[in-house]
A and B are shown apart, each in its own frame.
Chain A
Amino acid sequence: MLEDIGIIFIASALINNFVFSRYLGLCIFFGVTKRMETAIGMSITFTSVMVISAALSWLVYYIIMIPLNLGFLKIVIFIGIVSGFVQAADTIMKKVTPGLYYKLGIYLALIVTNCIILAVPLINASEKYNLLQSLTFGLGAGAGFSLALVIMASIRERLELADVPKSFEGLPISFVLTGLIALAFLGFSGMIPL
């Protein structure tokens, strides 16, 4: 049981890292890693939203949709849950913790139309994870995504001072860089069969 949870966490964070081996969240990944500060803000926001929306979607999926045989509506409903939750979080944070809102609120807005958030409940549903597993998966994916963001931001800060050929500045070199990191992350492959 515990081992199972551990495996899901490691697998989702490292071996099947959303960015480096599943190609998810790339727009955000490339968009917010220019500066460390944004990368960290984004990490925190994303991880929390991923965990919470994993839980909400699980509840809705298994308590409402499956019994009513509405599984085919999962795309519609999950995106509804995610955007509803983000909207609510936005409103609540603004009222309750304006300081935090000021720091992280801008990132919240970016989340709604992002594939990585939606991917968590969808994968949870297709893997038929139970609630704890779903939460772990959300957390692992979030941790892996955060790791990716922070590494990338620190490398890109250094890269800003580098003498990259003109045509490759910006996105192209970031893609190549991500490919190299993904190559290094292949070291984790074969550790656990999935």
Chain B
Amino acid sequence: MREMLKIVISLFAIFVGAGLILSYVYAKTSTVIYNAQVREKEAALKKMSPEAEKINVAGKWLLYEKPNEYYEAKKGNKVISYIASTTGKGYSSYIKILVSTDPDLKIKAIDILSHSETPGLGDEIEKKDFKKQFEGKVLENIELLKVETKDKIQAISGATISSRAVTKGVKEAVKLLNEKYGKGLSKE
């Protein structure tokens, strides 16, 4: 009995000691982690619309059953940009993408947040050259071609699947923004 008690006390003491230390560390770090996460997200959004003073969540939507959001970026009271997070179904992963448009829904920029496509192939979607192609495009122009093109999007050779995934994700996002903010789907 005494033996048993000793065991329990011994274990319990370690448990409590560890618990105390852990709680302390957790208390210290959890806010840091939380803040860092918020900051990261804010920074990512801010990058999409640097002039904006305030970026608000305007709604949520689903693509490939993945949760996404869209935002209104305001300077003063004026909406200067719409931003949407979206998903691409890539070669070996779902690609998380951010798209921003100006108020008349022309793409301002896109950014790749995360993916795990093949290094050296699919990961070239992160390259500036590829992302830049989307700038200034409207819904109709967001289409992938495997040949050289100015007004559409040109696929990265050897990574058609990843390129198409990004293009399709962006297109869905712009389509959504068109539905929410556009004047009918086919504007002019």
Contact = CB atoms under 8 A, between A and B. Distances in A.
B30 A72 contact: yes
Contact of A194 (B30, B92, B118): B92
Nearest to A72: B26
Contact of B18 (A76, A190, A194): A76
A190 B158 CA distance: 13
A190 B30 contact: no
A190 B161 contact: yes
Q: Which of under 10, 10 to 19, 20 to 34, or 35 or more describes the interface residues of A?
A: under 10
A72 B93 contact: no
Contact of B92 (A72, A73, A76, A193): A193
Contact of B22 (A73, A189, A194): A73
Contacts of B118: 189
Contacts of B168: none
Interface in A166-194: 189-190, 193-194
Contacts of B161: 190
Interface of A: 72-73, 76, 189-190, 193-194
Interface of B: 18, 22, 26, 30, 89-94, 116, 118, 161, 165
22 contacts: A72-B22, A72-B26, A72-B30, A73-B22, A76-B18, A189-B91, A189-B92, A189-B118, A190-B91, A190-B92, A190-B161, A193-B89, A193-B90, A193-B91, A193-B92, A193-B93, A193-B94, A193-B165, A194-B92, A194-B93, A194-B94, A194-B116
Given A72-B26, A189-B118, A193-B89, 11 more contacts: A72-B22, A76-B18, A76-B22, A190-B91, A190-B92, A190-B161, A193-B90, A193-B91, A193-B165, A194-B93, A194-B94
